[in-house]
Amino acid sequence: MIIVMSANASREQIDNVEKKLSSLGFRTHPIFGDVKTVIGAIGDRRLLDTHSISTMPGVENLVPIMKPYKLAGRELKQVPTIVKVGNAEIGGEKIAVMAGPCAIENEASYIETAKRVKEAGANILRGGAFKPRTSPYDFQGLEEDGLKIMASAREVTGLKLVTEVVDTRDVDLVASYADIIQIGARNMQNFRLLKEVGMHKKPVLLKRGLSATIEEWLMAAEYIIAEGNPDIILCERGIRTFETATRNTIDMSAIPVVKELSHLPIVVDPSHATGSWKYVSALSKGAIATGADGLIIEVHLEPNCALCDGPQSLRPSKFAQLMEELKKVSAAVGRQI
Whole-Å CA distances, 318 to 105, 120, 243, 314, 323: 21, 10, 27, 6, 9
Q: Which residues contact 52 (CB under 8 A, 6 or more apart)?
A: 20
What's the mean per-residue pLDDT of the chain?
Answer: 94
Same domain (yes/no): 7, 109: no
Same domain (yes/no): 40, 167: no
Residue 70 in domain: no
Q: Please provide residue 226's backbone torsions phi and psi, each rounded to the nearest 5 degrees.
A: -60, -25
Q: How many domains does the chain have?
A: 2
Alpha-carbon gap, residue 239 to 247, rounded angstroms: 9
Q: How many CB atoms lie within 10 A of CB 207?
A: 26
Q: How confident is the model at residue 204 (pLDDT cuts 50, 70, 90)?
A: very high
Same domain (yes/no): 305, 167: yes
Domain limits for position 222: 83-332
Same domain (yes/no): 146, 11: no
Same domain (yes/no): 56, 130: no
Alpha-carbon gap, residue 159 to 204, rounded angstroms: 17
* Overall average pLDDT of the 103-122 stretch: 97
Q: Are strands 2-5 and 59-63 parallel, antiparallel or unpaired?
A: antiparallel
The answer to whether 112 and 315 are in contact (CB under 8 A) is no
pTM for the model: 0.91
Kind and range of the H or E run holding 37: strand 37-42
Same domain (yes/no): 57, 104: no
Same domain (yes/no): 143, 255: yes
* Overall average pLDDT of the 174-183 stretch: 98
Residue 133 in domain: yes
Same domain (yes/no): 120, 261: yes
Q: Please provide residue 170's backbone torsions phi and psi, each rounded to the nearest 5 degrees.
A: -105, 0
